Structure 1
Amino acid sequence: MLQIMHLFFLLLGLSPFATSDDLPTLYEYYTTDGVSSGLSVDQPYFTLNGKNITIYSGAMHYFRVPSQYWQDRLRKLRATGLNTVETYIPWNLHEFKNNVFDFGDGGSDYQRLLDLDLFLTLAKQEDLFVIARPGPYICAEWEWGGLPSWLLREEAISVRTSDPVYMKYVKRYFDKLLPILAKHQFTKRGAVIAVQVENEYASAPIEKDHAYLQQLVDLMKDNGIVELLVTSDGAGYGTDGTLPGVLFQTVNFGSDAKASFSKLEEMQPNKPLMAMEFYPGWFDHWSETHHTVSNSSFVKNYEEVLAYPASINLYMFHGGTNFGFLNGANIGSGDNSNFQPTTTSYDYDAPLSEAGDYTDKYEVIRTLIKKYNPVQTKTPDPPELYERQVYPTLAIEGQLGYNDIIRQAPSTVLSTSDIPMENLPINDNSGQSYGYIVYRASGIDIPANSVLTITGHVRDTVMVLIDGVLISKPLSSLDDLNTFGFWKLDNSNITLTTSDLVNVSLDLVIENYGRANYGNFFHQFKGLTPDNRVYLNDKELQSWVIFPLEFQKSWNTKLTDWQPAGDEPTKGPGMHKAVLNIDTYAERYNDTYIDMQEWNKGIVIVNGFVLGRYAFIGPQQALYLPGAYLQHGDNEIIIFEQFESAAQVKFSKDQIYKNP
């Protein structure tokens, strides 16, 4: 057997005893004699530029990782022996307003996460190939599966179909995006070896529109995409999500490789086998138990794929973070009753943790790739980890009460009907995408024992205030999710007062807790949606003063009239400020986690940037704060707390989980 292996390596032009320094890089191995062809599936195995290749890939989403850390994370991926990185591309960030784009220089709050050209350049520098998955729908546990919310302003639009209205916007976006991918294609001496068309289309809860898939193919080819075009679905969906003979089909699963690959071989005979999504871990929803996959299960299932043999993409290799308001949600039906919002952390129990730490699964990959990959190429040593530290506990220095926040709201809309946030005439008529929205009925009389009713299911949480005082019950236990104020109840109601109130303001503060990325994701309006009507006793309230609270950086950094923090916790929604002073200049400041265990529910803002959501219901209890988001001198940390404040801001070296 050893003699056979020795001969095999000699045929590859390699020594079986070569040291890493003697080996070619990945690109040298596949391009030394020039580039004449890309990734081929014209035989039962992959070839790249005429040479056999098994794709050993790991998923890392550039938009979930600070750009300053991209190179570090990519090098860690390559150090395992993996030869490819896979990434989705989020339409809702790159076209953050209707016909306003950001690919790293567009001025959005997420600009520093969006330089796709740089990411693809760094991938090649780190000796990696790239699988690009531009959607336009990406799922990804990402806000509305990557679709921009301003699409909802188009009445009767039918997303993920060949609807001409929808495709008009897809074409405009792809005409901006695809030239970036095209110049980084392998056959153009770049990194991209494959591009996915749509995503898990077979499981979309719509009648399958193959004309739509063909139009996406045509758009890609018209924009110069010449590399292999692929689709991915669960094997049990057959060929519903692909175009047989036009698109190469891959499968998604987390175990039982034989079952999935057997079905794939039946559907697509005499072609290579690939798992586009193989799950080494899983993600969390708020109020759930933290998900993990044991190392023993991972070893068994991962090796089953490698030994089959087949190509594989680990989803995720490095999960990262759902910064800001960008988490998605699952939803079982259109009425929001089964809404399940995803946490800020997208750690995924992956081989590389949210903060970039090596896990036991990382070493498993290194060992198994070395065992199964017959092509030896140079790999770097795993980089040293970035240091994290526990910064000093900070006292809350200033606070803004609810009325002070509303007084500084960036815009006001008067309406004689219920308007969802997406249809507000703001942001260059792109509406409101994220955050909270306040509906105020001013100057009304509320008799004793009056009942407020909101029809349908709230989208997604609501607080009720009278003259700025919280009336609805604070979130205090998981059971409260089944009561007024949350999405589970249909036609929910609350008794407002036991005494007569005259000439008061009634506020509904409604939160977009994340648009669904999977399930019946077509009904994604937030705030007071077409399903919601508001009644005070038997009278419908329709005259509103609307305050969008988007927490955009330009607003967050200009808040004024901060008042000194008191000794007692404040009740109801408010903003609370602390300052972290870093008095020593450094090229890179240490990462940390903000420990939110003493707080209830809300968001954290650091130097104007919304870091993410927190909620005591768990499982996540801390927010990852990359040192890349810190600066020399004062760092302003603002907490928007919905229910009851704490007196301090604490830090942790690691993530904290508390299972319900």
Structure 2
Amino acid sequence: MCRFKLCFLLMTLSHLAWEGMAQQPTVYEYFSSGGITEGLKADQRDHFTLNGKPLTIYSGSFHYFRIHPDQWRDRLRKYRAAGLNAVDIYVPWNLHEPKRGEFDFGQGNNDFSMFLDLPRVLEIVQEEDLLVVFRPGPYICGEWEFGGLPSWLLSETPMFIRTSHKPYQDRAAIYLHEIISRVKDMQFYSASGKTGGPIIAVQIENEYGNFGYGDFPRDIEHLRFLKKTLETEGVESLLFTSDSPNLTKDYGNVDNVLMTANFKFDSLENLDNLLSFQPNRPVFVTEFWPGWFDHWFEQVHNTLNLEDFTEILQNIFLYKGSVNFYMFHGGTNWGFMNGANVLAGTGLPIFPSYAPDTASYDYDAPLTEAGHYTPKYDRAAEMIATNDPLANVLAKPARPAIVPPVAYPDITITEYLDYAGILSNLPSTAKQSSKVLLPMEQLDLNDGNGQSYGYIIYRKQLALKTGDKIKIRGHVRDLLQLIVNGKMVNRPILEFSDLAFFGSWGPLDSEFEVDLSEVGTCNPSCTVDFMVENLGRANYGKPHELQQNKGLWEGPVLLNNQPLEDWEIMSLEFNSAWVSRYDILGKDGHCLHFAFLQFLETNCNFSLSGWKPLGAEDLTLGPKIFKANLQVDDDSPQDTYFDFDCPDCQSWKHGSFFVNGFNVGRYFQVGPQKTLYIPGPFLATGSNEIVIMENYGGSNKMKFTDVPNYGSPSSPQK
């Protein structure tokens, strides 16, 4: 995936980083010496054994789908340099099977294909001398859209995810077959296949104890089904489950497989509870949370100070525990792939009932979103070196150097598409008629898979007049703009108090009094559009909270108390093929499409057209798409950040940012995040196309910065 000069540099640095350590064995040399006769065992209290040798696991979560592939090796090298001997890897079903029955492991033409060569990920992990704790789901949580589940599951009704419901289990089994068939020969030990690979342990589902109510029994038969499926497909590595023992005891465990713990605070209580269920097995904290994630509209960036971090890690080591830092490096929620939380206390919703996650997944982790070292990294390395009996036995690399980000020159934006121009680019396949409102997932799109991400528009011709009352029964899912004859007429949602108003997901049965003063009369009728953005499906919640359909579907829309029917529905998916540019006319009338730093032959008619010159008078309230070019003169473009917080930047209210066709994430003036990370590998030497979908405002200027801004920390250093 990397350019030649960069690849050559990485290979050279790789050789130099390990040079001079030949006298010390690698992790793999040490644990495989004498031949591999067994895998990871959990039958002693003080430690695991791997191939009969004592092993304490020092691991960090590594989300390959949140890190540009050209940066995988750099991040992994930093893991090993800190003394980690393993990584913990989630596998997102929704990326690897974007359509029912269509699997992508790096050879597809999907927006995320470049991230998805899973076997290659595991090979690079092994090349960097790290073992693998493998967590294939099907559900992963992870603050990832729908917890990693594909939204097309919701095109079938009824659908009861994460249960013994046969339609769900049938699809889960197919997915696990596709995953395990590609990695089963990459296990460290197998009695029936190859040995010497990186995988030492495999998780069954994820935090299943939380998927239920109180002390009511969980659907253990579903866990048993997944366990059997993994074993049948060829998993011979140690199986385990993970939960927070304080909260859910052993409710999410099955057949006495190894229980592990997830926590941040109350570490001693969680460790004691874990041991109460399995006193003669090693302690493994599969998720020590060294920070936390953020939601839009929060007032602070969620952090954990260094003192508390140190105390919790020390407690784990006092219990002779193995540990996985969730996260050691967080990365980024690219595109529309952020998750969300359902807010509930004692079973009742807490306003505003739903909280979408930010684009940044920095997590206040030991390595920053851009892979830079922090005091937590230094502290973790120091403590591991003190605690690990193999710290001075095994080879490890020097810390890779940090390449600082840059602030590229400001850009002047000269072209845009107004709302009508955006819709004029929609193909006929993105439009359909329906008597009733339909959610995204049940649209007749994408070969019966519905719409997964982006925006959905419900259109009606209505004889509106000022003073008319519009009511939306249920909740909007998630963010609505009411557009009459191309003009947005409801207030934008730009601060927490706005969540109580029409257009937000917060109110139940929200109402709007029509004001046509900016529109004019509807004679004989106006085109009325209800444009709804999916801000991310919840990745965590109780069974009833994961019916995560998006759009308007919970009830009808009423005009003066009369239900409206017969809708035109339009889908704005904003996939890369629709957004990005086409540079060179190829053979047979095809275009060579520039995306992900490579040219792909495709049809010409998917690129956006109809761009208009941008003037100050065009920056009115409502949806727009802006286009600009960033010139990069460096042979190896460096990381940067889109700045939407500087005094001249705050006209950028809310939207999505595309670099050379790839959606690097959402921005939202509500914070706490106020910069958007753009990895250097997304940029090319020369001209780079920048496209911004802006919901509300916009500007003719765009700025970059070399300093990230995630908001004020919630837990300052003591």
TM bracket (short chain):
over 0.9
Q: TM-score, normalised by structure 2?
A: 0.87
Q: Which residue of 2 aligns with 1:377?
A: 394
Cα distance in 2 for residues equivalent to 1:400 and 1:570: 12
Cα distance in 1 for residues equivalent to 2:188 and 2:305: 36
Q: Which residue of 2 aligns with 1:484?
A: 502
Which of 518, 539, 548 is the matching residue for 1:524? 548
Which of 653, 659, 662 is the matching residue for 1:606? 659
Deviates more, 1:421-430 or 1:471-480: 471-480
Cα distance in 2 for residues equivalent to 1:560 and 1:607: 16
Cα distance in 2 for residues equivalent to 1:553 and 1:39: 42
> Are the structure 2 counterparts of residues 440 and 498 from structure 1 closer, same or farther at C-alpha, using a change threshold of 3 Å?
closer
Which of 295, 299, 303 is the matching residue for 1:292? 303
Q: Which residue of 1 aligns with 2:626?
A: 576
Q: Which residue of 1 aligns with 2:533?
A: 511
Quote the offset at 1:258 in angstroms: 2.2
Q: Which residue of 2 aligns with 1:539?
A: 562
Cα distance in 1 for residues equivalent to 2:293 and 2:230: 31
Cα distance in 2 for residues equivalent to 1:452 and 1:31: 69
Q: Which residue of 2 aligns with 1:125?
A: 127
- CA-atom RMSD in angstroms: 1.5
Quote the offset at 1:547 in angstroms: 1.1
Kept after mapping to 2: 8 A contact 1:578/1:649 = no
Q: Which residue of 1 aligns with 2:583?
A: none
Q: Which residue of 1 aligns with 2:313?
A: 302
1:421 aligns with 2:440: yes
Quote the offset at 1:314 in angstroms: 0.5
Quote the offset at 1:478 in angstroms: 2.4
Quote the offset at 1:84 in angstroms: 0.5
Deviates more, 1:538-547 or 1:355-364: 538-547
Cα distance in 2 for residues equivalent to 1:70 and 1:448: 56
Cα distance in 2 for residues equivalent to 1:592 and 1:224: 43
Question: How many residues get paired?
Answer: 637
Give secondary structure in 2 for the equivalent of 1:610: strand
Cα distance in 1 for residues equivalent to 2:313 and 2:63: 21
Matches within 5 A, 1:457-472: 457-472=475-490
Cα distance in 2 for residues equivalent to 1:658 and 1:645: 22
Cα distance in 1 for residues equivalent to 2:615 and 2:473: 38
Quote the offset at 1:83 in angstroms: 0.4
Give secondary structure in 2 for the equivalent of 1:317: coil
Aligned residue identity for 2:296 = W
Matches within 5 A, 1:206-355: 208-236=218-246, 237-245=248-256, 247-288=257-298, 289-332=300-343, 337-355=352-370
Kept after mapping to 2: 8 A contact 1:325/1:435 = yes
Q: Which residue of 2 aligns with 1:71?
A: 73
Quote the offset at 1:307 in angstroms: 2.5
1:651 aligns with 2:669: no
Matches within 5 A, 1:603-642: 603-642=656-695
Deviates more, 1:40-49 or 1:200-209: 200-209
Q: Point out where structure 2 has 5 or more consecutive residues left out of the alignment.
A: 1-19, 190-194, 581-606, 714-718
Cα distance in 1 for residues equivalent to 2:306 and 2:431: 53
Matches within 5 A, 1:8-47: 20-44=21-45, 45-47=47-49
Kept after mapping to 2: 8 A contact 1:409/1:549 = yes
Quote the offset at 1:605 in angstroms: 1.1
Q: Which residue of 1 aligns with 2:573?
A: 550
Which of 187, 198, 202 is the matching residue for 1:191? 198
Quote the offset at 1:318 in angstroms: 0.3
Quote the offset at 1:20 in angstroms: 5.0
Quote the offset at 1:571 in angstroms: 2.1
Kept after mapping to 2: 8 A contact 1:448/1:501 = no
Aligned residue identity for 2:327 = M
Which of 98, 101, 104 is the matching residue for 1:99? 101
Q: Which residue of 1 aligns with 2:210?
A: 203
Q: Which residue of 2 aligns with 1:366?
A: 381
Cα distance in 2 for residues equivalent to 1:155 and 1:273: 41
Aligned residue identity for 2:225 = Q
Kept after mapping to 1: 8 A contact 2:180/2:233 = yes
Q: Which residue of 2 aligns with 1:49?
A: 51
Give secondary structure in 2 for the equivalent of 1:624: strand
Kept after mapping to 1: 8 A contact 2:465/2:514 = no
Q: Which residue of 2 aligns with 1:591?
A: 639
Cα distance in 1 for residues equivalent to 2:680 and 2:357: 24
Kept after mapping to 2: 8 A contact 1:181/1:225 = no
Quote the offset at 1:337 in angstroms: 4.2
Give secondary structure in 2 for the equivalent of 1:613: strand
Kept after mapping to 2: 8 A contact 1:307/1:372 = no
Kept after mapping to 1: 8 A contact 2:471/2:561 = no
Cα distance in 2 for residues equivalent to 1:35 and 1:191: 13
Q: Residue deviations 1:8-36, cap 9 Å, x none?
A: xxxxxxxxxxx955321111110111111
Give secondary structure in 2 for the equivalent of 1:644: coil
Quote the offset at 1:43 in angstroms: 2.1
Quote the offset at 1:487 in angstroms: 0.9
Give secondary structure in 2 for the equivalent of 1:602: strand
> Are the structure 2 counterparts of residues 552 and 350 from structure 1 closer, same or farther at C-alpha, using a change threshold of 3 Å?
same
Aligned residue identity for 2:329 = H
Quote the offset at 1:409 in angstroms: 1.6
Q: Residue deviations 1:450-482, cap 9 Å, x none?
A: 111101111111000101101011234321122
Quote the offset at 1:596 in angstroms: 1.7
Q: Residue deviations 1:407-442, cap 9 Å, x none?
A: 112321111110101001111110000011111103
Q: Residue deviations 1:518-550, cap 9 Å, x none?
A: 114421000012x13101112211211111011
Cα distance in 2 for residues equivalent to 1:141 and 1:446: 41
Q: Which residue of 2 aligns with 1:163?
A: 165
Kept after mapping to 2: 8 A contact 1:595/1:623 = yes
Kept after mapping to 1: 8 A contact 2:431/2:571 = yes
Give secondary structure in 1 for the equivalent of 2:466: coil
Kept after mapping to 2: 8 A contact 1:142/1:517 = yes
Give secondary structure in 2 for the equivalent of 1:166: helix
Kept after mapping to 2: 8 A contact 1:397/1:578 = yes
Q: Residue deviations 1:327-384, cap 9 Å, x none?
A: 0001035979410100000000000000010011010111111101001210000101
Q: Calculate percent identity across the aligned residue pairs.
A: 42
Q: Residue deviations 1:46-94, cap 9 Å, x none?
A: 1000000000111110010011111110000000011000011100110
Give secondary structure in 1 for the equivalent of 2:328: strand
Kept after mapping to 1: 8 A contact 2:176/2:229 = yes
Give secondary structure in 2 for the equivalent of 1:638: strand
Kept after mapping to 2: 8 A contact 1:475/1:643 = no
Give secondary structure in 2 for the equivalent of 1:214: helix
Cα distance in 1 for residues equivalent to 2:689 and 2:128: 35
Q: Which residue of 2 aligns with 1:136?
A: 138
